[in-house]
Amino acid sequence: MTPPPPHSTTRTKLLVLGMCLLLGACASNAPRPIVDVSPAEISLGEIGTQSADASAWIISREPWRFASAQGEIIRTPNYRIYTTETNSIMKDRLAVFAEYALTHYRQALTPLPRPPKRLDTYLMDNRPQWVSLTKRLLGPQGEPLLQIQRGGYASRGIGVYYDLGLYDTLAIAAHEGWHQYTQRTFADSLPIWLEEGVATFMEGHRWASSTPVFKPWSNIERFEHLRDAVADSMLLPLDELLSSSPQELLPRVDGSILNYYAQLWALVHFLNEGENGRYATPLRTLIADAAAGKLRKRLTTELGLRDARAAMASRTGALVFEVYFDVPLDEADKQYRAFVDRVIALESRSAIAAGRSPLRAAADHGGRR
């Protein structure tokens, strides 16, 4: 069964921020769960040629029990999936999807290392099981998550989801899977605006039969929320966007959290291809530096120890942006707003729906006139 195309406006509401942002679980003194042995080595090119059939990726299955529910543990080259899911299609699709998503994380913007251990992932059959598991994994720290009626999260390198239907479950897994990967793999934490921005960048995907195909522009919900933010004059200035965090916006009922994620989705696309690629190399350098543990050192060199520590501790603000992109913030804000205006142009929606860059589509259209 092929999942339906992304069309429901509930999708953005489902993409819950990673727990490292809510509870500080990425801190160096945070307890780390026991994890599996090192994942099987797999090249970035190999996944493009290997069959998308689940049997090509599932290494082993073994029984697992959660309370009274009978489940299983599914091992793939890079994941260990604990699941009570009763739908076999969902289980097999998640196993394949996770591996394809991980490859996408590692090559979409810049070459990144594979995780040092298999990534533990939980897929529960229903919300009550998810609630019970969250209490076991996080104790009192998990209380804020229990207010989420539909969603999932990543904490300390563990992804925790439940069955919301095939497309929505995997859309959440694509977003939170990025958090799961960086929590386990990156030596330095990215600033929140980039961590969440890249997570939204990683969401876009379509299906070719039973094979997931990741297309960062293929995200109608983010596009529509971005367009609405502009129409309602709710677009945040760049300095405010960089200084905001999801936990501050989540309690608000005015749609701020949806605007925030939509703007970060646009911001990463802007840095990746806006201004004729001016910021693409610094973007890749910043992500690679965080993965390799060089981010803190560069900030210390350019800002001094005190400001570097403050930037790394808060993970908000414009300091990291200014160091890496070397542009006055007011100038970058004007460029970003101009980029957003181009993205939401009337003819852009069809390009977004097809997973194509609306900027390139507009250029191609202009060239054919």
State the DSSP H helix or E strand holding residue 154, giving kind and residue range, or none if neither.
strand 153-155
Q: Residue 16's domain spans which residues? A: 10-29+36-188
**C-alpha dihedral over 67, 69, 75, 79, to 10 degrees?**
-70
Per-residue pLDDT of 3-34, as tens digits, reads 333 333 333 344 444 433 333 333 322 333 33
Kindly tell me if the per-residue pLDDT of 51 is higher than 70: no
Residue with tokens 């006055």: 328
Kindly tell me if the per-residue pLDDT of 361 is higher than 80: no
CA distance 152 to 269: 24
Q: Which amino acid is at 280?
A: A
Kindly tell me if the per-residue pLDDT of 212 is higher than 90: yes
pLDDT value, residue 1: 34
Domain boundary pick from 142, 173, 188: 188
Per-residue pLDDT of 69-87, as tens digits, reads 999 999 999 999 999 999 9
Shared domain for 22 and 139, answered yes or no, is: yes
Residues 284-301: what's their mean pLDDT? 98
* Total domains in the fold of the chain: 2
Burial readout 324-334 (b: 16 or more C-beta within 10 A, e: otherwise): bbebebeebbe
User: For residue 3, is it within any domain?
Assistant: no
This prediction's pTM: 0.86
Which residues share a beta bridge with 73?
Answer: 62, 82
Q: Using only C-alpha atoms, what is the Rg of the chain?
A: 20
Shared domain for 20 and 168, answered yes or no, is: yes
Out of 40-44, 51-55, 76-80, 190-194, pick the least confident. 40-44
Helices (H) and strands (E) in the chain, counts: 17, 8
Residues 187-211: what's their mean pLDDT? 94
Domain boundary pick from 168, 188, 208: 188
Shared domain for 142 and 259, answered yes or no, is: no
Shared domain for 17 and 89, answered yes or no, is: yes
Per-residue pLDDT of 238-268, as tens digits, reads 999 999 998 888 777 677 889 999 999 999 9
49 or 362, higher pLDDT: 362
- Of the chain, the end-to-end C-alpha distance in Å amounts to 40
Q: What is the largest CA-CA distance in the chain?
A: 65
What is the pairing mode between strands 119-124 and 79-83? Answer: parallel
Residues 202-219: what's their mean pLDDT? 92
Which of 61, 18, 314, 288 is CA-nearest to residue 160?
18
Shared domain for 22 and 161, answered yes or no, is: yes
Token duo for residue 360: 């390139």
Kindly tell me if the per-residue pLDDT of 38 is higher than 60: no
User: For residue 282, is it within any domain?
Assistant: yes
Helix axes 305-314, 295-303, angle to 10 degrees: 140
CB 118 within 8 A of CB 157: no
CB 154 within 8 A of CB 119: no
